[in-house]
Structures are given as C-alpha cells and as structure tokens.
Chain A
C-alpha cells in the first residue's frame, strides 16, 4: 500500500485563487450595501423633504420663534 503523494507545489497560487474572488466579493458587497443603505435613502430623504415643503409655513414658524433678525415676529 502506498500513500498518495501530497501536493507540494503551487500552494500559494492555490490560496490566492481561493481568496481573491472572496476579496472582490467582499469589496463589491460593501459598496452595494453602502449604496442601498446610505446613498439611496439619503437621496430619497432629500426628495421627500422638498416634496411637501411649505415655505410660508416654515418661514412663519421661524419668524414667530424669533430666529430672524431682518424680520420681526408679527406681534412686534
């Protein structure tokens, strides 16, 4: 009975062939995750904010709160 000769060569190349696709997959996964967890929600948040934005209502609320110096609250 003879033992099978163990693989003696190309070990590093085999390791690289195994791990390089994993590295690329991790990179792509993190990029896609960032896009759909940060970038797209941010774009939607800005679109949503300005879709129903009432300039006069917000301005009057800030004016009555005394935020502005150039326009005084209506009582004054």
Chain B
C-alpha cells in the first residue's frame, strides 16, 4: 500500500506489476537521458553572448535530430508493446469475480460454484480500530487465492467508477451497461488496498477496495464459511 513521502510506484505483488515497474524504470531512464542532455544544452545556450544570425538549413543535424528521437521511441515502444500484450492474456483463470460499482460502494459476486454476493462499504474513520488504515478499510474484503489467475468482470450500477489496486497492477473502468474484463495473479498472501479511480460523486474518495489474498486451501475453507453465514 502507499506510505508517507512515497515517490515511486507501490511494490509489485503480481507478475504483471513487476513487468510494469521494470518498463517504468526503463522509460524513466530514457527520460532522464533526454532531460539531462537538454538541460545541459539550455545551460550552455543561456550562458553565452555568441550568436549566429546567419544560421539557415543544415541537413546534417536535421537528419540526426529526426532519426535519434525515432530510435528512442522504438526503444520505448518495444518493451511497452510486449507488456501490453502480456497484460491482455487471459491465462485460463481459476476463479471469476464480478464487481459492480455503486454510489458509493463496491459489491462482489462469486458465482462460479454457488451464489455468493456481498457489498463492501468503507469503514468510517470514527469506527476504525487501532491499526486499521483510514479511508482504505472496508467491512467486507474481496478474498482471492494466491498463485491462481483470477478473472475480474467489472461494471457499474449507476455512474462510471474504476476498480483499481495499484500493487496488483490493476485498474479497469466500471461503466454502466458494459462489462470489462481483466485478470491478475497474486504472488503472495497479504491484504491489498485500492481506491475508486473515476470521479463518481460526493463520496468518490470514500469507496475503497480491499483484497485479501490467502493460499488456495484456506480460500476454499473461507468461501464455504462465508456461504454458510449468508
């Protein structure tokens, strides 16, 4: 989850997010290369009184400063497209979870075997117990197994919302009348937090997402006990 004074992306807890972090580092490296070069060039330009009023076309440098940015773009695009297509793979999901965005909460449905449905409201600040995170905790968490591809089907009931969990590298708009699909694999057990990522009204900032990932054997037990409670 996010922490104070954080500058970079959250640590990855899915393979896709690891790839996204690597490509972000790669692109940032190229941006640093260009920025430092341009900064030094501007510095040398503003610290001289020398001018050339007769500078006209120069095919040599124009060729260079067309080809070089093209090569840089190719260097960025190749890994980017690789990760893009990797994210689009469906990978035979073991579980499908449907999530519906409402104003202002998420509801989850597990309908693969039996019908398990529940709503997930934010825990208000005054009801938090010590150790819980403000504006991130929910009364019911979405539970998924680790090391298993999970398919998310995302839609909305009223206005556009967006289901996002940064550490898993997942963000998908929840649009009324449309079903969006995404998949993820959780690498290790933990609790992951996200927040609604599309402006949806007064309480847009108060409809968080919390995902609890546990090993598969415990997931089966917990699903059985959740069904028994309903």
Interface residues of A (CB under 8 A from B): 11-13, 15-16, 19-20, 22-24, 26-28, 30-31, 34-35, 38-39, 42-43, 46, 50, 53, 55-56, 58-59, 62, 67-71
**How many angstroms between the C-alpha atoms of A38 and B31 in the bound complex?**
14
The residue that B212 contacts in the complex, of A16, A26, A68, with Cβ under 8 A, is A68
B36 touches A27 (CB 8 A): yes
Known A-B contacts A12-B51, A39-B22; A69 and B28 likewise in contact (beta carbons under 8 Å):
no
Structural contact, B141 and A70, CB atoms closer than 8 A = yes
Q: For the complex, what is the distance from the CA of A4 to the CA of B221, rounded to whole Å?
A: 94
Contacting chain A: which of B81-89, B157-165, B183-191? B183-191
Q: In the docked arrangement, what's the CA distance between A22 and B40, Å?
A: 8
Contact status of A70 and B50, CB under 8 A, knowing A22-B40, A31-B30:
no
Chain B stretch 25-45: residues in CB contact (< 8 A) with chain A: 25-26, 28-30, 32-34, 36-37, 40-41, 44
Q: Is the CB of B18 within 8 A of A46?
A: yes
Contacts of B226 in A (CB 8 A): 70
CB neighbours (8 Å) of B190 from chain A are 62, 67
Contacts of B170 in A (CB 8 A): none
- Kindly identify which residue among B44, B143, B191 contacts A23, using a CB–CB cutoff of 8 Å: B44
Are B22 and A23 interface neighbours, CB within 8 A? Answer: no
Chain A residues near B36 (CB, 8 Å)? Answer: 26-27, 30
Contact bitstring B4-32, A, C-beta under 8 A = 1, else 0: 00000000100000100110011011101
Question: Assuming the A-B contacts A11-B50, A46-B18, A50-B187, are A24 and B37 also in contact, with contact meaning beta carbons closer than 8 angstroms in the complex?
Answer: yes
Query: Cβ of B222 < 8 Å from any Cβ of A?
Result: yes
Residue of B nearest to A35 (CB): B29
- Can you name 26 A-B residue pairings with CB atoms under 8 Å? A20-B41, A22-B40, A23-B44, A26-B36, A26-B37, A27-B32, A27-B33, A27-B37, A31-B33, A34-B28, A39-B25, A42-B21, A42-B25, A46-B12, A46-B18, A56-B215, A58-B188, A58-B189, A59-B215, A62-B189, A67-B191, A68-B189, A69-B140, A70-B141, A70-B219, A70-B226
CA distance A15 to B221 in the complex (A): 74
1/0 per residue, CB under 8 A from A, across B199-220: the answer is 0000000000000101100110
* Closest B residue, CB atoms, query A18: B44
Residues of chain A contacted by B146 (CB below 8 angstroms):
55
Name which of B22, B37, B143, B212 has the most chain A CB atoms within 10 A of its CB: B37
Does A70 contact B188, Cβ atoms closer than 8 Å?
A: no
Cα distance, A58 to B37, chains bound together (Å)? 46
* CA–CA, A71 and B159, complex, Å: 34
Residues of A within 8 A of B219 (CB): 70
Q: Are B222 and A71 in contact (CB under 8 A)?
A: yes
Residues of B within 8 A of A70 (CB): 141, 143, 212, 214, 218-219, 222, 225-226
With A34-B32, A35-B29, A38-B25 known to touch, is A12 a contact of B40 (CB < 8 Å)? Answer: no
